[in-house]
């Protein structure tokens, strides 16, 4: 056999022998097999282009129809059970009473009831006194005021409007003498105040859209017209007009806002460029303030951190056109779920001084006064506020400011017999520390306490006349069984000084100025209201029950004790 055949036979013999041995038997194989010779096909490869068609298999569509049964379950509306209900509203409220020194009191309020769209109302008030202070000039006074207001609330906007009229009569009684020795007509004064206002507010729910507001106000304020025909024009007349606007939009975590306001105040005393006497000359003051106030406020860390940056650009045209720029910076951070909120800021601004605003502070001033705008060039403030519990909150703060043209009141001896006050202006640095705490237990008990410690440094005057260095205010209200309503007010003031124009008892001389230290003020008031029903109640009020005859202004003491009682009606 050939070589190949030998290998094949040998391999097969070994395999067979091994297999047989594994079975435990011995088998001997002999013989041979012919294998055909290999050869190659002698053809050249070529491409055969043949299209093979694929048979299309069609499956018939099966129509399936399932019957579906549905059942709608009825959901019972949710209901909330509560013992508290909205209190019944009454459209009218009347309060009437009378006090010592023949002091009648009357108040009437009319308001719309609950309405989603319309609000409207009116009020009328009167308080007067026909009594006198022993040892002083006649001190009768009366105050009467009426007002109307209305508004419309829509989803996208709201509109407001109001009209008011106030009439106040008084006497310049700050003159120690017997009331019978002075004709009350020569020391009387009367202020008439009326005006109206309207405002528009947009209410787009999407904070990313622009919201804005626009307001217009007008006010007329005049003093008493003299009886003498030739002197009819020699009184104070003031017209005030304001345009206020604000736009605000939110982008991400930033809120962009801008205020644009125009305030005009025209004050006139007497006839311009003329004189009634050597002392009384005509005064005219046309004062316009225009301010543009943009701010950017950012809220971070789930509104715990708040920062505001802005500026207030003010144009003033009282004497000449001046421009002022004030900062408006504030930062605060809420810690421990509003338990502690430290804050700090830097600000400033200009406030328009008017004859009406001055009489609001001191009603015994002269009618011929110089008007200057109060300019707070800088005011740094800071502190910590927060909550001690759900019922108690607090605030501790400090402030350092520089104020130019601060109005102070001093006794006049040029145009009067010393029973009126004139206005002087000075530049001062003011520093104060403030602390307050408030406690409220539902509608049962409310207590507020405020303390202020002030420090003044002036350029031209020794003291800030009639301003206190220490102020303490306490307020409390208690509801006993919803039948008795008790209230207590306590005002304390210390460190007031008055500028006088001559030596006298208790008067000291400092820096060529005669200074009188005014008494410590302790003004305590207590009142009780008894509710006979939801519609009828009775009240009694005790004012200055400490019987302290302190002087709020130099030589102008208050009543030592007042008591007033009356009834109220709701219908």
What parts of the chain have a pLDDT lower than 50?
A: 1-27, 29-30, 32, 39, 43, 48-54, 57, 59, 61-64
Best CA proximity match to 189, nearest among 368, 352, 357, 353: 368
Report the distance separating Cα 147 and Cα 167, nearest Å: 12
Predicted pLDDT of residue 59:
45
**What per-residue confidence (pLDDT) applies to 252?**
87
Cβ neighbours of 420 (radius 10 Å): 22
Is residue 409 a part of any domain in this protein? no
In a domain, 531, yes or no: no
pLDDT (0 to 100) of residue 33: 52
> Does residue 36 sit within a domain?
no
| Structural domain includes residue 293 | no
Let me know: does 349 contact 326? Beta carbons within 8 Å.
Answer: yes
Reading phi first (left if > 0) and then psi (alpha if -120 to 50, else beta), residue 565 is in beta
Burial grade of 214 (CB within 10 A; 0-12, 13-18, 19 or more): middle
Residue 159 lies in a domain: no
- What is d(CA 456, CA 433) in angstroms, rounded to the nearest whole number? 12
Q: Which domain holds residue 15?
A: 1-31
**Rounded distance, CA 484 to CA 478, Å?**
8
- Predicted pLDDT of residue 50: 47
Which among 425, 423, 375 is positioned nearest to 403, based on CA atoms?
Answer: 375
**Cα–Cα distance for residue pair 525/539, rounded to 1 Å:** 14
Q: Which of 105, 226, 104, 213 is nearest to 159 (CA)?
A: 213
pLDDT for residue 181: 84
Q: How far apart are CA 252 and CA 209, in angstroms?
A: 12
Q: CA dihedral defined by 473, 479, 480, 481, rounded to 10 degrees?
A: -170
Yes or no: say if 174 and 187 are a contact pair by the CB < 8 Å rule. Answer: no
**Any domain includes 350:** no
Question: What's the domain count of the chain?
Answer: 1
The stretches of 237-307 forming alpha helices (DSSP H) are none
Rounded Cα distance between 283 and 276, Å, is 12
**Residue 419 class from Cβ within 10 Å (0-12 exposed, 13-18 middle, 19+ buried)?**
buried
Helix, strand and coil in the chain, % to nearest 5: 5, 55, 40
Query: How distant is the alpha carbon of residue 433 from its chain centre?
Result: 21
User: pLDDT at position 1, please?
Assistant: 45
Judge whether 289 and 350 are in contact, CB under 8 Å: yes
Distances (CA, A) of 78 to 71, 73, 89: 21, 15, 27
DSSP letter at 83 equals S
Going along 365-483, which residue ranges are E strands?
A: 374-387, 392-412, 420-441, 445-458, 470-480
Tell me whether residue 27 is in a domain. Answer: yes
Q: What is the CA radius of gyration of the chain?
A: 45
Is residue 15 in some structural domain? yes
Asked if residues 148 and 122 have their Cβ atoms less than 8 Å apart, the reply is yes
Please name which of 259, 237, 268 lies closest in space to residue 314, comparing C-alpha atoms: 259
pLDDT at 113: 86
């Amino acid at each position: 056999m050939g070589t190949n055949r030998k290998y094949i036979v040998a391999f097969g013999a070994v395999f067979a022998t091994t297999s047989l041995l594994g079975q435990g038997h011995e088998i001997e194989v002999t013989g041979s097999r012919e294998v055909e010779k290999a050869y190659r096909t002698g053809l050249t490869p070529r491409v055969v282009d043949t299209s093979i068609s694929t048979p299309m298999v069609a499956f018939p569509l099966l129509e399936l129809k399932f019957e579906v049964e549905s059942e709608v379950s009825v959901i019972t509306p949710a209901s909330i059970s509560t013992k508290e209900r909205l209190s019944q509203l009454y459209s009218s409220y009347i309060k009437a009473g009378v006090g010592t020194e023949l002091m009648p009191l009357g108040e009437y309020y009319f308001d719309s009831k609950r309405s989603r769209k319309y609000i409207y109302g009116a009020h009328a008030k009167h308080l007067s006194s026909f009594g006198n202070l022993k040892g002083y000039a006649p001190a009768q006074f009366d105050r009467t005021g009426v007002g109307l207001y209305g508004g419309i609330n829509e989803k996208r906007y709201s509109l407001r409007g109001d009209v008011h009229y106030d009439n106040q009569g008084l006497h310049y009684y700050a003159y120690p003498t017997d009331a019978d020795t002075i004709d009350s007509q020569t020391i009387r004064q009367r202020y008439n105040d009326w005006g109206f206002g309207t405002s528009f507010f947009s209410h787009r729910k999407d904070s990313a859209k622009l919201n804005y507001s626009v307001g217009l106000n007008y006010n007329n304020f005049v003093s008493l017209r003299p009886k003498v025909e030739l002197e009819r024009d020699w009184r104070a007349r003031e017209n005030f007009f304001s345009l206020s606007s604000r736009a605000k939009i939110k982008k991400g975590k930033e809120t962009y806002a801008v205020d644009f306001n125009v305030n005009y105040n025209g004050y006139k005393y007497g006839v311009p460029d003329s004189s009634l006497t050597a002392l009384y000359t005509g005064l005219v003051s046309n004062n316009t303030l225009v301010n543009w106030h943009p701010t950017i406020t950012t809220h971070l860390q789930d509104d715990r951190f708040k920062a505001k940056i802005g500026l207030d650009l003010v144009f003033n045209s009282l004497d000449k056109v001046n421009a002022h720029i004030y900062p408006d910076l504030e930062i605060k951070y809420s810690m421990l779920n509003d338990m502690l909120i430290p804050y700090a800021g830097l600000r400033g601004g200009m406030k328009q001084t008017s004859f009406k605003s001055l009489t609001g502070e001191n009603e015994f001033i002269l009618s011929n006064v110089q008007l200057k705008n109060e300019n707070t060039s800088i005011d740094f403030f800071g502190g910590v506020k927060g909550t001690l519990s759900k019922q108690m909150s607090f605030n501790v703060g400090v402030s350092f400011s520089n104020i130019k043209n601060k109005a102070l009141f001093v006794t006049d001896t040029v145009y009067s017999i010393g029973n009126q006050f004139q206005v002087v202006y000075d530049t001062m640095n003011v520093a104060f520390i403030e602390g307050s705490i408030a406690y409220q237990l539902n509608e049962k008990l409310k207590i507020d306490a405020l303390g202020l410690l002030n420090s003044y440094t002036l350029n031209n005057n020794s003291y800030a006349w009639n301003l206190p260095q220490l102020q303490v205010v306490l307020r409390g209200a208690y509801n006993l069984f919803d039948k008795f309503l008790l209230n207590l007010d306590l005002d304390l003031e210390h460190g007031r000084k008055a500028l006088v124009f001559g030596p006298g008892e208790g008067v000291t001389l400092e820096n060529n100025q005669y200074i009188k230290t005014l008494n410590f003020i302790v003004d305590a008031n207590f009142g009780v209201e008894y509710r006979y029903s939801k519609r009828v109640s009775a009240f009694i009020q005790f004012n200055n029950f400490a019987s302290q005859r302190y002087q709020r202004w130099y030589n102008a003491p208050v009543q030592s004790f007042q008591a007033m009682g009356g009834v109220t009606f709701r219908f």
